[in-house]
Structure 1
Amino acid sequence: MRAIALIPARLGATRFPKKLLAEIKGKTVIRRTYESAVNTGLFDEVVVVTDSEEIREEIEKNGGKAVMSKGTYESGTDRIAEVAMDMEADVFVNVQGDEPFVQKQPLEALLQVFRGDGGTAVQVGSLVQELKEQEFIEDPNYVKVALDLNQNALFFSRSVIPYPRNKEIATIWYEHIGVYAFRKKALMDFTTWPMTPLESAEKIECLRFLEHGVPMKMVVTNYMGVEIDTPEDIIRAERYMELRNL
């Protein structure tokens, strides 16, 4: 199965401007994300797709591959689709540029759902991890996911879902990890649809698939990485590295 990883990398960010060029222990966020994806050994190609000459130069001067996107896009999925249109692969994986610690095991599990007889029906997949800290459960920067009994996404929200009305049972919360995998048709279809109402309200791009009735197969992992959304996340990322001797 031919798999290509595409890393959307937009320079502007509302909560943390130029976050992809911020350094975590001497390397930029985007460089760490790129190198982590390459080091998994799972992909036939890894390419950063960016709107920024600074980001392109950062990747290329460190031996990586980056291309400039031509259009203006609201989502990373739209950005990578521009490049994927002229590429051939069984599965395209969107590794968000602000995920500097992507690892082989969860990505391998994500690719696995596309294999075999059951995998032929899967059009879109993504990753989740259990979220246990109450402050993060309530933090709108952490996107929560409710799953059905077949591990398909029911809904994504920045609000607390599910809401623990019943205090007598143990509630599990899942955090969405910004890694998606697509069949090419699903990725191209996404670009033809305008932004949907729930996607616009929550600012969560994968809601566009659910609003069009496309199931999203979710893979539960114990990834426990650090997504970079705020300056405070740089401190968390450095602590993450120290605890794991990275």
Structure 2
Amino acid sequence: MSYTVLIPARLASTRLPNKPLADIGGAPMVVRVAQRAAQSQASRIVVAADHPSIVEACQAHSIECVLTRDDHPTGSDRLAQACELLGLDGQDAVVNVQGDEPLIDPALIDACATQLDRRPDCVVSTAAHPIHEAELFANPNVVKVVLDAAGRALYFSRAPIPWWRDAPVAGQPCSAVAPALRHIGIYGYRAGFLRRFPSLSISPLETIESLEQLRVMWHGERIAVHVTEQAPGAGVDTPEDLERVRAVFAAG
């Protein structure tokens, strides 16, 4: 299928200032993300920036970029404006790759796009992988997802779900029955829904969990989930993360 990768890039970051422009092996991080995404089957790679300096950096490396408003409350709002600027609408497929994921697997990007192509009943797709470690299962910073029989999300939570009531040791991931799944923060969208998303009222569950994807389900839409055995490559949130990723690029 034909699809577009959109990469939201926001200059401000509390933990890592000017994060999209952080150098990784001689190129800005947002450029490294776009170059990685270009290894997928996407027909188009576009950065959705909030500052002219990001646009200039992308242009210097022949990466397509659009300048969006700098006051969007969420990345989804930024992507919605990018769809308008690019004329994407209706059933056009878009995959949102985060601008701080320079090690993302191109095959995972393709898998999210394929989910949308195969699941006309869903307006969003995403991914997850099994959790085997009890400490990750209990960690509220690790988002969990449970699925229905058709592989659609039933719920996302920071809580350890599903809770294995009869586990030999309380709090263990229920891998003996069905694996607990860790959500991976990559999304595919139908562009028409993405353009409509900012107008949807915020879900109380979204507010409680601080998980934007719960707004989709609150309004009765469905999310298809691709399950992979592999955990995603490390993202960049802190200076320490940045040094680890730089080391990966330096090692070739």
Name the TM-score, length of structure 2 as normaliser. Answer: 0.83
SS in 2 for 1:13: coil
Letter in 2 for 1:210: M
Seen in structure 2, the aligned counterparts of structure 1 residues 187 and 97 have a Cα distance that, compared at 3 Å, is: same
**Is residue 177 of structure 1 aligned with residue 175 of structure 2?**
no
Aligned position for 2:171: none
Amino acid corresponding to residue 54 of structure 2 in structure 1: I
Q: Which runs of 5+ in 1 are unaligned?
A: none
Please state how far the C-alpha of 1:172 moved relative to its aligned partner: 2.6
Contact 1:9 1:48 (C-alpha < 8 Å) held by counterparts = yes
Does residue 202 of structure 1 match 2:201? no
Superposition deviation, residue 241 in structure 1: 5.4
Residue 71 of structure 1 deviates from its aligned partner by: 5.5
| In 1, Cα distance between equivalents of 2:15 and 2:204 | 22
Instruction: Give how far 1:92 is off.
Output: 1.2
1:49 equivalent in structure 2: 48
- Whether the 8 Å contact between 1:152 and 1:217 is mirrored in structure 2 is yes
Identity value in percent: 33
Q: Distance in 1 between matches of 2:145 and 2:240?
A: 23
Alignment partners' CA distance in 1, 2:114 and 2:222:
17
Residue 156 of structure 2 is matched in structure 1 by: 156
Give the distance between the partners of 2:52 and 2:19, measured in 1 at CA.
Answer: 15
What does residue 11 of structure 1 align with?
11
In structure 2, what is the Cα distance between the partners aligned to 1:95 and 1:21? 16
- Please tell me the root mean square deviation across aligned C-alpha atoms, in Å: 2.5
SS in 2 for 1:32: helix
Distance 1:49 1:218, change over 3 A: same
What amino acid is aligned across from residue 225 of structure 1 in structure 2?
Answer: G
TM-score normalised by L of structure 1? 0.85
Alignment of 1:1-246 (within 5 A): 1-40=1-40, 42-70=41-69, 72-86=71-85, 87-88=87-88, 90-115=92-117, 119-168=119-168, 169-170=174-175, 172-221=179-228, 222-238=230-246, 246=252
Deviation beyond 4 Å, 4+ runs, structure 1: 238-242
User: Is contact 1:127–1:219 with CA below 8 Å preserved after alignment?
Assistant: yes
The verdict on how the C-alpha distance between 1:25 and 1:174 changes in structure 2, with shifts beyond 3 A counting, is: farther
Inter-partner Cα distance in structure 2 for 1:25 and 1:203: 34
The aligned length equals 241
Larger Rg: 2
- 2:93–2:191: 8 Å Cα contact kept in structure 1? yes
Distance 2:244 2:217 in 1: 32
